[in-house]
Structure 1
Amino acid sequence: MPFPPGITVHPELAAYLEDLPPYSDPFRDIAATRERFRQLLAATPADRTGVRSRRYDIPREDGSALAVEVYRPDGAEGSYRGGALPAVLHFHGGGYALGRPLPGQDKTALDLCRALPAVIVSVEYRLAPEHRYPAGVEDCYRALEWTAAQAAGLGIDAGRIAVTGNSAGGGLSAAVALMSRDRGGPALAYQSMCVPDVDDRVAGEPLPAEAEDVPGPWVNSLRTMRRTWQHYLPEGAAADAYAAAARAEDLTGLPPAYVLVCDLDPLRDPGLAYARRLMDAGVQVTVRNVPGAWHGFELHAPGTRLAREMTAHWTGHLRAALYPCPAAD
């Protein structure tokens, strides 16, 4: 598969390139795209060993309900603060339009539940284009408020609540952190953002027609990002800070952050720029760049050392944030 000049793929990933499909607009038939994703999930059931879960319906103001699935490790107890566990709200990726896990089958939530350990709240936020911004992010913030209010009953330490997400989920994590700060909401201990989609300006001006027609090797291309934002934002509306966190003018007072980017991802530079702005605002930030990797590479090459190291890195930093070492005497 040819690459533009200057593109270098990690040697461990080169063999996986031929398996990557050509570009296909997921929004051309979003219902069909979601159904293919559902079938893929159903074909590979998640490992629920050592974890139990329960679904809850959180009422919205219009009378509808937001569904969340709460995962808890069997027999796990917190190491301090009365035995309560930390909590992590997980916002799935999928371009704000798909990616919803099957009930009880959120693989990221299950893995985090066992690895941290922690109570993981998987949020089934409303999806675009049927529900454009701000529906999805308001659902995510509502889930945060509910989790904090229900902390005692869920066995959660309200002082150790974090948000995390990949791609669109990373963008939602950044937005929820801003919303909680601005609205005086529940305090977050950490925001963990993997390949976050934080800037609607990433795609820039439309590409030349000949470039648009060339299949690229990346699951996430500039064409994909352009269509994502076209379908997420209300027609004719400009993004604000809760739609695209990079548009926020003030980043002070936000929780410590983790930002992971991939070399061959169009979201790399906006992610790095956001991380730098967080640092400049006095926020503690850990940054990790995965060399020679594209957006979502771990889905195609989960057994590679690069994918395992990436997962261990971001989960390890999330664990350290939620289980900090006690202060020395």
Structure 2
Amino acid sequence: MPALFNAKGAAALAATPAIPAGTAPAKIDPLMLVDPELREGAELILSRPLPDPLDHKAILAMRQGVPPPAAPLPAPAPAIEMRRIPGTKGQPEVSIAVIGARRDGGNRPAVLHIHGGGFILGRMQDTFVASQQLAEELDCVVVEVEYRLSPETVFPGPLEDCHTALVWLHANAAELGVNPNSIAVMGESAGGGMAAMLAIAARDRGSVPLCYQVLIYPMLDDRTGTTRRVPPFIGTIGWNEAGNAVGWSSLMGVPAGSDRVPSGAVPARTSDLSGLPPTFIGVGAIDLFVDENIAYAQRLIAHAVPTQLLVVPGAYHGFDFIAPRSRASRTFIASWKLALGAAFRDRAAASG
């Protein structure tokens, strides 16, 4: 086994429980539930299933097989500035990208964006174009963070990378033309799960006052697919139960669904959600994460956190990236952008 493979991650990945066959009696073809405009993308995803087994060798092969990222948008689109910032004590430097910064003494809002990939895949360059568009549309600064992937780095390493980037953004707000009281966190899938973890950590540490969190089909609960099963027609297009078990086991250094997991690693297992920033959660109705996302939204509401939940009929994991021009995707993207923009305007009004 490669030396770069963290021992805890290796043990947890090897011990990842096998997913037993579903017990739900209904035999429903998942494609029959897909929005017609999303069906072509669904068929493409199904033609490229996750490796079985999804072990370390397969993970490395998937990383190496990813095509180059799209070229960033040229000027006058918001510029991208690459930086290396010091890590927290005992942690390495962190690579970030600052998009749309202005050194004109402005007072604009900012977003710390965290990419997805099941905690085992992904790179910040893959979302540069989307972040340039967001920076332009909402007149904000976007900071992307290249957190360390698992299983090479187990929790809390990836979270510390994200927290380092958030603290840096807040501390350097004046230089970047950012209002330090108008910073949001955002992510998709595992990035959404990391954003939720980060919001909890920022609250608990009293480090950065967040004004909003945008959680796009976030990966929130390690028990999904292990000790908590989903109906067989959910979570079959894209990220599935087996992949979820591997991703969480790789991050935590213990098998997904264990009785005890590292404190702060699993947002759904956090008992107190009070004091978190207002939240948008969006997910497809046949996404693996639909149940855990609805449950998290309900718990946020129960803890007096202003929360908007959007469940998209006929939508699977990552549908908005696969079919961005579909009506479902355009409505979905517009919804979270409207919510984030409103949060920024409310904070600007409160700041006078």
Q: Distance in 1 between matches of 2:223 and 2:236?
A: 22
Q: Distance in 1 between matches of 2:341 and 2:216?
A: 15
User: Residues 222, 229 of structure 1: CA spacing in aligned structure 2 closer, same or farther, 3 A cutoff?
Assistant: same
The answer to whether the Cα contact below 8 Å between 1:165 and 1:171 also exists between their aligned partners in 2 is: yes
Please point out which of 313, 318, 335 is paired with 1:313: 335
> Identity of paired residues, percent?
35
Partner of 2:243: 224
Question: Could you list the runs of 4 or more consecutive aligned residues of structure 1 that deviate by over 4 angstroms after TM superposition?
Answer: none
User: Residues 6, 32 of structure 1: CA spacing in aligned structure 2 closer, same or farther, 3 A cutoff?
Assistant: closer
Q: Distance in 2 between matches of 1:97 and 1:291?
A: 28
Q: Distance in 2 between matches of 1:166 and 1:257?
A: 14
The answer to whether the Cα contact below 8 Å between 1:161 and 1:190 also exists between their aligned partners in 2 is: yes
Gaps in structure 1 of 5+ consecutive residues: none
The range that moved more, 300-309 or 83-92, is: 300-309
Residues 109-148 of structure 1 mapped to structure 2, 5 A cutoff: 109-148=131-170
Q: Distance in 1 between matches of 2:228 and 2:296?
A: 23
Partner of 2:125: 102
The alignment's TM-score, normalised by the length of structure 2, stands at 0.81
The answer to whether the Cα contact below 8 Å between 1:175 and 1:241 also exists between their aligned partners in 2 is: no
Question: Does residue 1:164 correspond to 2:191, yes or no?
Answer: no
The answer to whether the Cα contact below 8 Å between 1:126 and 1:139 also exists between their aligned partners in 2 is: yes
The answer to whether the Cα contact below 8 Å between 1:255 and 1:283 also exists between their aligned partners in 2 is: yes
The range that moved more, 216-225 or 249-258, is: 216-225
Residues 158-307 of structure 1 mapped to structure 2, 5 A cutoff: 158-205=180-227, 217-235=236-254, 238-307=260-329
Q: Which has the higher contact order (CA 8 A, sep 6+)?
A: 2
User: Residues 294, 40 of structure 1: CA spacing in aligned structure 2 closer, same or farther, 3 A cutoff?
Assistant: farther
Q: Distance in 2 between matches of 1:108 and 1:241?
A: 32
The answer to whether the Cα contact below 8 Å between 1:259 and 1:288 also exists between their aligned partners in 2 is: yes
Partner of 2:28: 5
Partner of 1:36: 65
The answer to whether the Cα contact below 8 Å between 1:56 and 1:67 also exists between their aligned partners in 2 is: yes
User: Residues 22, 206 of structure 1: CA spacing in aligned structure 2 closer, same or farther, 3 A cutoff?
Assistant: farther
Please point out which of 100, 108, 111 is paired with 1:88: 111
The answer to whether the Cα contact below 8 Å between 2:281 and 2:309 also exists between their aligned partners in 1 is: yes
How much does 1:57 deviate? Answer: 1.4
The answer to whether the Cα contact below 8 Å between 2:286 and 2:316 also exists between their aligned partners in 1 is: yes
How much does 1:74 deviate? Answer: 7.2
Please list the CA deviations of residues 195-233 of structure 1 after superposition, one character each: whole Å capped at 9, or x if unmatched: 0011111112498xxx9xx9x851111111111112111
Q: What letter is aligned with 2:247?
A: T
Question: Does residue 1:65 correspond to 2:93, yes or no?
Answer: yes
Aligned Cα root-mean-square deviation (Å): 2.6
Q: Distance in 2 between matches of 1:29 and 1:14?
A: 27
How much does 1:35 deviate? Answer: 2.0
Q: Distance in 2 between matches of 1:149 and 1:326?
A: 22
How much does 1:31 deviate? Answer: 2.2
How much does 1:143 deviate? Answer: 1.1
Question: Does residue 1:55 correspond to 2:82, yes or no?
Answer: yes
For the residue of structure 1 that corresponds to 2:168, the secondary structure is helix
The answer to whether the Cα contact below 8 Å between 2:236 and 2:288 also exists between their aligned partners in 1 is: no
